[in-house]
Amino acid sequence: MHAIQRFHYDRLQGCLKKIRKESEDFMLPEDHLQSVFLQEERLKKLLQNYQEALQHLALILKDYEKEQQLTQSLIYVHKKYRKEVLKSNKVSRILIKTQ
């Protein structure tokens, strides 16, 4: 899984801000300036979506850990019950044989 590295994001945003400033200073066409602005907004939205996804993933992992513990506990209890049943069946067989 790849991650958005904050360094790369900041570098891209810095470049876009520099381009926007130069576009304003050199009075470049409005559509170019608008394209730069829209790209800045798309990057911001992607980072926001990424951060929200990470928070959601953290909650899923927390739920998974909880379910993992519950499952392991259930397995332990099952083994304990099985052992008791086998032990009682063994005692029952011994009693049947002695009669």
Rounded Cα gap, residues 7 and 39, in angstroms: 17
Q: What is the largest CA-CA distance in the chain?
A: 106
The reported pLDDT for the residue numbered 90 is: 76
Question: What is the rounded average pLDDT of the residues 70-88?
Answer: 92
Q: What is the pLDDT of residue 99?
A: 61
Q: Do the domain assignments include residue 1?
A: no
Residue 60 lies in a domain: yes
Q: And the tokens for 86?
A: 């086998």
Predicted TM-score of the model (pTM): 0.70
pLDDT at 98: 65
Note whether residue 56 is domain-resident. yes
The answer to the question of residue 49 being in a domain is yes
* Residue 81 domain-assigned (yes or no): yes
Burial of 36 (0-12, 13-18, 19+ CB in 10 A): buried
Domain count, the chain: 1
| Structural domain containing residue 32 | 6-98
pLDDT 10s digits, 14-70: 999 999 999 999 999 999 999 999 999 999 999 999 999 999 999 999 999 999 999
